């Protein structure tokens, strides 16, 4: 289990705003659901994470099809009020990237 250094806010960067993200080995992830949280074991890192619903939904969507943040918000039907959720999803993508659960797609 890891303890991430989570900053209070994540600034917009070209990578976070524009990159297309994917889940590198979604089928290998192990999940346990406990009400509104999930325990997620990533065999790639050997680490166990506590994942909330938004993170679970984001990972599930990105596993179906890689996408950028804007596209992800559309697919999650969160694009109606983007100013309210963009900051949170910027941070979420940053954290998932730091944990190695998502990676930017390179062409």
Partner 1 sequence: MKIGELSRQEITARLKGPGLRWRTGPFTIHLKTSAPNLADHLRVLYQSHPLLNPPYDEVGDFHIHLSRGMGVRRWWRPKVYFKADAPSPFSPFPLDHALPLLEWGTNYCIASRAHQYLILHTGAVERNGRVLLLPGLPGSGKSTLTAALSLRGWRLFSDEFALVRPGTGRIAPLVRPIALKNESIAAIRRFDSNAQLGPEFPNTRKGTVAHLRPPPASVAADQQPAPPGWIVCPSFERGSSVTFEPLTQDQGFFQLAGNAFNYEVQGARGFRAVAQMAHHCPTWKMTFGNLEEAIEALEKLTDEVQVPMKPSPPAKADPPSETTPPPQTQHPPLTGIER
Chain residues in the site for partner 1 (CB under 8 A): 1, 27-35, 37-39, 41, 43, 46-48, 50, 56, 60
In this complex, which beta carbon is closest to partner 1, that of residue 19 or of residue 59? 59
In this complex, which beta carbon is closest to partner 1, that of residue 6 or of residue 60? 60
Residue 95 beta carbon to partner 1: minimum distance, rounded to whole angstroms: 18
Residue 61 beta carbon to partner 1: minimum distance, rounded to whole angstroms: 12
Name 48's bridge partners: 41
- The pair of structure tokens assigned to 40 is 């997620």
Residue 100 beta carbon to partner 1: minimum distance, rounded to whole angstroms: 15
Contact 59, 23 (CB under 8 A): yes
Helix (H, G, I), strand (E, B) or coil at 66: coil
Instruction: Report the C-alpha gap between 11 and 6 in whole angstroms.
Output: 13
In this complex, which beta carbon is closest to partner 1, that of residue 41 or of residue 105? 41
Name 52's bridge partners: 37
Instruction: Report the C-alpha gap between 85 and 78 in whole angstroms.
Output: 7
In this complex, which beta carbon is closest to partner 1, that of residue 2 or of residue 98? 2
């Amino acid at each position: 289990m890891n303890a991430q250094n989570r900053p209070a806010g994540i600034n917009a960067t070209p990578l976070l705003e524009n990159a297309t993200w994917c889940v590198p080995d979604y089928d290998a992830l192990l999940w346990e659901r406990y009400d509104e949280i999930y325990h997620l074991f990533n065999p790639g890192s050997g680490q166990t994470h506590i994942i909330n619903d938004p993170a679970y939904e984001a990972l599930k969507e990105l596993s179906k099809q890689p996408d950028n943040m804007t596209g992800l918000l559309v697919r999650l039907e969160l694009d109606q009020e983007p100013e309210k959720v963009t900051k949170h999803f910027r941070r979420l993508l940053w954290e998932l990237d730091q944990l190695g659960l998502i990676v930017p797609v390179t062409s």
